Amino acid sequence: MQSKIFMAKNRNNLNRVSTTKPGVIGVLSQWNYGVYTAGSTISLFGLWAHRLAAAWLAWELTQSSFWVGMVVFADLIPTLFLTPFAGVLADRYDRRHMSIASQLMGMFQACVLGYMYLTGDFTQESDIWWLIGWTTFLGIAWALNTAARLSMVPNLVEHKFIPPAVALNSAIFNLGRVVGPISGALIIDQWNVGVAFLFNAVTFIFFIAALCFIRQVRSEEKPAGGAGVWAQSIEGFKYAANHPGIGPAMILLIAMAVGGKALLEVLPEFADEVFARGAAGLGELTAVSGVGGLIAAIWLASRGDVIGLTRITIIALLVTGLSILGFVATNWYPLALLSIFVLGVAGIYGGTATQTLMQHAVEGAMRGRVMSLYGVIHRGAPALGALAMGAIAEITGIRWGVSLGGILCLVVWLWMLKRSKIAAAALERNRSISNQ
């Protein structure tokens, strides 16, 4: 009798969940996603503190935007080569286990860098190679992490909650961009870069614990066996390239990543030399961008629908290009802060809306591979952009290198205008999905 009552209560609970409307409250009612989000939030605070500390250490050792770009490149370049293969693994195996393994690797790297700095191993310009080497190790870990995490989120919620889940995930990421750099700047100011690295190491513990507790609520079709990793990776690329919506969306993302995200990676020179604000200014500029992104992501999460998102991404690309050009054209710090805030808003509108559309449109068996390509663009393109901007800055000055990124965004915006209707029809179509 008691078991029957319990089962009836469970059915009622499931019905209440299934009738919850998409939105921030609705998606957080999904227990697995709530636990995942709590752990991810704390970890992201440490991650962004770590990134600011690494960029500042590179600038401190070399006083060169080229070498800052090289450190960023070292962090992100493994994504270009490894993430497509990681996407195949994410489609084949347990995405949660992949994510846990990558988090352990990241924690180890943060501990090593913190120890090296505190024991005096970062004292001269040639020590930049140690930073580049260990940053490359982190990039390898994050290549595995990107494919697993991006494709895992839709498995933690009912299908109707995918748009707000992706948007809220982005909101949390940008909350980290606000809190993390401020925390990192304060830690560096009060103690040193090494303590900032160790702070990141501690925050990994919370996310690893969360990953140990969550379970996926929806299963997906696994790719057919027989084909090798390389063949399946190529299959994922062809699928994305031939898709009338996903292909153009990835080109849009490349422009935004090379232009807008790359600018965020070369901010140390702007903070220190252009605006003479030092590490505190770097923290302010990064945090302001994060505030803009947070506002945009919260709005997208509350929106809870994919209809109209394609138009939003195209507008965001235009605003990204204009805000980049506005940032490099001014010497007035308040206007620079405003420009970087607008860039943060546009970047999340474009990036998060595009990711949401791709998660909505892609077939379940291809999700890991397609989202790994998203990860390649999201992390790899800024690396190439930052390296190019740093190299150009050595010749012409940092403003000209960054300006080219803004011009690229405007050119791709014109190209996207002609394809907007076809892309929207492919990305925003209604779907009846049981296993995706």
pLDDT in tens, 62-72: 887 778 778 87
CB 200 within 8 A of CB 340: no
Q: Identify the residue with better confidence: 108 or 15.
A: 108
pLDDT value at 322 more than 90: yes
Compute the distance between CA of residue 68 and CA of residue 60 in angstroms, rounded to an integer.
10
* 117-124: long-range pairs with CB below 8 Å, 24+: 117/57, 117/192, 117/193, 117/194, 117/197, 118/192, 118/194, 118/195, 122/57, 122/61, 122/193, 124/61
Mean pLDDT of the chain: 78
Q: State percent of the chain over pLDDT 70.
A: 83
Can you tell me the mean pLDDT for 306-327?
87
pLDDT value at 329 more than 70: yes
CB 330 within 8 A of CB 402: no
Domain boundaries, the chain: 23-213+227-427
Q: Identify the residue with better confidence: 323 or 381.
A: 323
The CATH H-level superfamily of 23-213+227-427 is MFS general substrate transporter like domains (1.20.1250.20)
pLDDT the model gives residue 220: 53
Can you tell me the mean pLDDT for 158-163?
72
Tokens matching residue 203: 């925050």
pLDDT value at 87 more than 60: yes
- 84-118 residues labelled b (16+ CB within 10 A) or e (exposed): bbbbbbbbeeebbebbbebbebbbbbbbbbbebbb
pLDDT the model gives residue 196: 92
Please write the tens of the pLDDT for every residue from 181-212: 778 888 888 888 999 999 999 999 999 998 88
CB 339 within 8 A of CB 286: no
pLDDT the model gives residue 183: 85
The structure's pTM equals 0.64
DSSP letter for 245, please. T
pLDDT value at 424 more than 90: no
Compute the distance between CA of residue 393 and CA of residue 377 in angstroms, rounded to an integer.
23
3-state secondary structure of 214: coil
pLDDT the model gives residue 13: 40
